[in-house]
Amino acid sequence: MAVMVEAPAPQTAEVTDRARHERRLGLMLSAPSFLVMVFVTAYPLIYAVVLSLYNYRLTDPEGREFVGLGNYATVLTDPVWWTDFSTTFLITVFSVAVELVLGFAFAFVMYRILRGRSIVRTAILIPYGIVTVVSAYIWRYAFQLDAGFVNQWFGLGDYNFFGQRWSALFVIILSEIWKTTPFISLLLLAGLVQVPEELQEAARVDGATAWQRLKRVTLPNMKAAIMVALLFRTLDAWRIFDNPFIMTAGANKTETLSFLAYRQNVTLVNLGAGSAVSVLLFLTVVVIAFIFVKGFRTDLSQVRGDR
Amino acid sequence: MLSGARSGRRRLAAFAALTLSVSLLTACGDDSGPPTLTWYINPDNGGQGRLAEQCAASSNGAYQVDVQVLPNDASQQREQLVRRLAAQDSSIDLMSLDPPFVAEFANAGFLRPFDPGDVATFTTGVLKGPLTTAYWKDQLVAAPFWANTQLLWYRKSVVQAAGVDPGAAGFTWDAMIKAAEGQNKVVGVQANRYEGYMVWINALVVSAGGEIVGNVEAGKDATPEIASPAGDEAARIVGGLARSPAAPPAMPNAIEEDARSSFQGSRGAFMVNWPYVYNAAKEDVASGGISQSVVDDIGWARYPRVTADRPSRPPLGGINLAVGNFTKHPDQAVALVKCVTSLPNNIAYMLDAGNPAARGAAYDDPKVREAFPMADIIRTSINDAGPRPITPYYNDVSTSVQLTWHPPGEVEAPATPKETATFMSDVLQGKRLL
């Protein structure tokens, strides 16, 4: 079945005086906060780029020397960076994929449920309300060798989850899913609410099955919401820090890129290489955002609930 | 209802005014009364806090002391101090500093060197080991407060059966491992990937007459020296023990407490460890963990040698006191250091917290001799101890060693020391990430 969508009326070329005045007022009102934003985000960014061109240790001020792009070459040719990159990639892909599926399920439950709606919604949202560090501790204790209950429940004996890479990553991804699925389901619920009920009705009258309705009506109409949810969660997962920090402290190749940046900058006070790592991390974030926005042709400004 | 709301609002206003005036008063108080010094300490049993109180009381009102406890882990202590000092935090008047960090902090300009006139006060009578860690570029930047060292602990019954004498002058690691193997017993060491492993490796290298890194004042241009006959000897002992039947099963993950529990177990024969283990064993008896016969069976000797003809250089730990360079009360801070590191307070702290004193005379005190039957060995060990590399890049040096020497079962001479030297040099030069 075809869905007719009304084309938006073409904008009139003439801009009235009043509109022009309002636009100017808007600019003036937002200018101060815009300037503050530029200052607080642009300044550290530029400073980090400058620092990344030096070999500079905070505790060895005399040893500071200009190395140009040397730090970037060092970082990008170092196996540590690529191990951390692959770890971050794995965590992002697996957690976001599972979260999307689960998030949909939860969103449908929250949307369709008739009785006890507020209780169900609250129950689903609770994990998201817990501070990430706290949830990381909860999961760490649950899977710990001596005090954890998971091994007892599943009869795993002395299996040390944090003793090797894959099982440790499994727990980290699991806790990540538990923690942020509510967020994605919330965004999807917002998208779900916007799917016009008439379209569903029409499809039902035409004899579409539930699966067909989902595939042909619901999902296409939620595309923007899905993309926003995916983009937010991907960027979030890409910057993951707390869970590996608390659970494994980066041991057994569970260190992520944010963790690497933290270690270089804070632990080793190696500001040159640390800034290079941070700038590269920033660039990967930009690339991800670019891929989502351009690659999936998502217009973020369209996600306003005015469809 | 309305009046209730109004009175509530009035109460809130009164509370706000009171809070404001109290904070104003406190702000004024800062300038008039004696200054309150902030001393950042490593966690202990409260002994440093008690010394602080006592020193403040005996200062005749010259200063008050506020003790702030740093995190448990030494590297986290360093992290917190570096962060604050890099921001020129003037609230750090005094800090308890792990000796390996002294060079790094001093090089960054975080520590206030002591006046030449005060140097004698902080160095006279102090044992040689801790003294070497208190200087950076010929300036005294820290005052040794207490010092620590490792001893060789053995089970008397085992050494008797094996027919060896760990107290004999030429007792080596090889002889020890051979004795343990012969009796089907184990040697407890610290070989997890952490600082304690570096302590062991460094002790082996310096006991063999070498050093892990040289030319340290050149900062990142320092030269790794571990690829040397001394480094090879250390690698031979570490790898050899790890692959021998005398290695405890959990050796690659063993920290101090693991070594202690394997030593106190049925297969325990030897262990290198800090002196706290003796009192800890006694406490285990009190809590019913082990029987008194185990404690009665424990003997102690100086750290074993690497080669029979060269005296061992035992590990060195402890705490130095340093004055923050951004303090607003340097004179009072120095006065506090003088009080805390005085001989009577060294003795008091040793008896109170169980941490060995940095001043040699403390070990002659009858109460100390009673509490520490091995006092003389501790004193000579601390005096002859080989400190870990004194370099502003200590973190890089230590981590390079830990990364390349783990797991101990794969350590081989000369391959491992060679790999460490290359890796360390690359790390120092910024060509590799840690």
Domain edges within chain A: 80-262
Q: For B403, which residue in chain A has the nearest alpha carbon? A: A251
Q: Is there a contact between B82 and A71 if contact means CB atoms under 8 Å apart?
A: no
Q: Determine the Cα–Cα distance for residues B310 and A22; give it in Å rounded to an integer.
A: 88
Does the pLDDT at position A260 exceed 90?
A: yes
Contacts with B411 (C-beta within 8 Å, 6 or more apart), sequence order = B235, B238, B239, B242, B405
What pLDDT is attached to residue A127? 92
Q: Is there a contact between B220 and A266 if contact means CB atoms under 8 Å apart?
A: no
- Measure in Å the smallest separation between the Cα of A34 and chain B Cα atoms: 28
Q: Determine the Cα–Cα distance for residues B29 and A100; give it in Å rounded to an integer.
A: 59
**DSSP conformational letter for B104:** H
Going by pLDDT thresholds of 50, 70 and 90, the confidence category of residue B64 is very high
Does the pLDDT at position A142 exceed 50?
A: yes
Does the pLDDT at position A99 exceed 70?
A: yes
Q: Number of folded domains in chain B?
A: 2
Residue B262 in any domain: the answer is yes
Residue B433 in any domain: the answer is no
Q: Do both B185 and B135 map to the same domain?
A: no
Q: Do both B11 and B76 map to the same domain?
A: yes
What pLDDT is attached to residue B259? 93
User: A-chain residues within 8 Å CB-CB of B433?
Assistant: 74-75, 78, 80-81, 260, 264, 273, 277
Q: Which of A51, A55, A57, A59 to mutate to test the interface with B (most CBs of B within 10 A)?
A: A59
Going by pLDDT thresholds of 50, 70 and 90, the confidence category of residue A132 is very high
Q: Is there a contact between A264 and B75 if contact means CB atoms under 8 Å apart?
A: no
Q: Do both B327 and B300 map to the same domain?
A: no
Q: Do both B303 and B321 map to the same domain?
A: no
- Using CB atoms, pick whichever of B83, B392, B431 lies closest to residue A60: B392
Residue B268 in any domain: the answer is yes
What pLDDT is attached to residue B187? 96
**DSSP conformational letter for B302:** S
For residue range B359-404, what is the model confidence (pLDDT) as tens digits?
Answer: 999 999 999 999 999 999 999 999 999 999 999 999 999 999 999 9
Does the pLDDT at position B3 exceed 90?
A: no
Phi/psi-derived region of residue B317, left when phi > 0, alpha when psi is between -120 and 50, beta in every other case = beta
B contact residues 169-188, partner A, Cβ 8 Å cutoff? none
Q: Determine the Cα–Cα distance for residues A88 and A83; give it in Å rounded to an integer.
A: 9
What pLDDT is attached to residue B9? 53
Q: Is there a contact between A273 and B433 if contact means CB atoms under 8 Å apart?
A: yes
- Using CB atoms, pick whichever of A75, A78, A269 lies closest to residue B82: A269
Q: Determine the Cα–Cα distance for residues B144 and B251; give it in Å rounded to an integer.
A: 32
Q: Is there a contact between B219 and A62 if contact means CB atoms under 8 Å apart?
A: yes
Which of these, B275, B150, B258, lies nearest to B204 by C-alpha position?
Answer: B150
Going by pLDDT thresholds of 50, 70 and 90, the confidence category of residue A2 is very low
Q: Do both B378 and B284 map to the same domain?
A: no
What pLDDT is attached to residue A159? 83
Going by pLDDT thresholds of 50, 70 and 90, the confidence category of residue B1 is very low
3-state class (DSSP) for residue B23: helix
CA atoms within 13 A on the CB side of A143: 21
* Average pLDDT in chain B: 90
Percent share of chain A, pLDDT over 90? 55
Chain A with chain B: Cβ pairs closer than 8 A: 61
Do B63 and B35 touch, CB atoms closer than 8 A? yes
Going by pLDDT thresholds of 50, 70 and 90, the confidence category of residue A294 is confident
Sign of the dihedral through C-alpha B195, B201, B205, B211: negative
Q: Which two tokens stand for residue B288?
A: 């019913």
Q: Is there a contact between B430 and A80 if contact means CB atoms under 8 Å apart?
A: no
B299 vs A200 pLDDT, higher one? B299
Q: Do both B66 and B207 map to the same domain?
A: no
Going by pLDDT thresholds of 50, 70 and 90, the confidence category of residue B239 is very high
What pLDDT is attached to residue A249? 85
Q: For A67, which residue in chain B has the nearest alpha carbon? A: B430
Q: Determine the Cα–Cα distance for residues B318 and B82; give it in Å rounded to an integer.
A: 19
User: B-chain residues within 8 Å CB-CB of A269?
Assistant: 82, 86
What pLDDT is attached to residue A129? 92
Q: Do both B187 and B135 map to the same domain?
A: no
Going by pLDDT thresholds of 50, 70 and 90, the confidence category of residue B5 is very low
Please indicate if any CB of chain A lies within 8 Å of the CB of B82: yes
Q: Which two tokens stand for residue B202?
A: 């460094």
User: A-chain residues within 8 Å CB-CB of B432?
Assistant: 74, 78, 80
What pLDDT is attached to residue A115? 85
Q: Do both B204 and B102 map to the same domain?
A: no
Residue B1 in any domain: the answer is no
Q: Do both B191 and B308 map to the same domain?
A: yes
- The whole-number average pLDDT for the span A221-237 is 90
Percent share of chain B, pLDDT over 90? 79
Domain range enclosing B412: 149-315+390-428
Going by pLDDT thresholds of 50, 70 and 90, the confidence category of residue A299 is low
Q: For A274, which residue in chain B has the nearest alpha carbon? A: B433
Going by pLDDT thresholds of 50, 70 and 90, the confidence category of residue B284 is very high
- Its ipTM equals 0.76
Which of these, B104, B159, B169, lies nearest to B309 by C-alpha position?
Answer: B169
What pLDDT is attached to residue B11? 56
Q: Do both B310 and B321 map to the same domain?
A: no
The CATH number linked to B60 is 3.40.190.10
Q: Do both B260 and B292 map to the same domain?
A: yes
Matching residue, tokens 């170092």 = A78
Cβ burial of A260 (10 Å; 0-12, 13-18, 19+) is buried
* Average pLDDT in chain A: 88
Q: Do both B308 and B408 map to the same domain?
A: yes
What pLDDT is attached to residue A66? 94
Does the pLDDT at position A253 exceed 60?
A: yes
For residue range B39-63, what is the model confidence (pLDDT) as tens digits?
Answer: 999 998 899 999 999 999 999 999 9
For residue range B94-144, what is the model confidence (pLDDT) as tens digits?
Answer: 999 999 999 999 999 999 999 999 999 999 999 999 999 999 999 999 999
What pLDDT is attached to residue B2? 40
Pairing of strands B139-140, B135-136: antiparallel
Class of the domain covering A80-262: mainly alpha
What pLDDT is attached to residue A183? 93
- The whole-number average pLDDT for the span A119-148 is 89
Q: Determine the Cα–Cα distance for residues B97 and B113; give it in Å rounded to an integer.
A: 14
What pLDDT is attached to residue B24? 45
Does the pLDDT at position B29 exceed 70?
A: no
